[in-house]
Amino acid sequence: MVTMTDETGSVRTARSSNFGFYRFTDVAAGATYVFSVSGKRFAFKNNTRVESIVEETDDINFVAGNF
């Protein structure tokens, strides 16, 4: 599960596919968002990222491992 929180505190969620892909649509450019990931079977060393979105992007990735 990936959550995206905007500057006003509004939270949106997306479920990842079996391969870990996820998507948020209608994300306003020019804003900063907090992305967080969690999973039942996986641990994430860095499970939160703050990103300023200026254009369409596909490189907000989280890596699971044995930590």
Q: Is the Cβ–Cβ distance between 13 and 3 less than 8 Å?
A: yes
**pLDDT tens digits, residue range 4-41?**
999 999 999 999 998 889 999 999 999 999 999 998 88
Cα dihedral angle (36, 50, 56, 1), rounded to 10 degrees?
Answer: 0
Containing 43, the helix (H) or strand (E) segment is strand 43-44
Task: Give the pLDDT score at 66.
Answer: 73
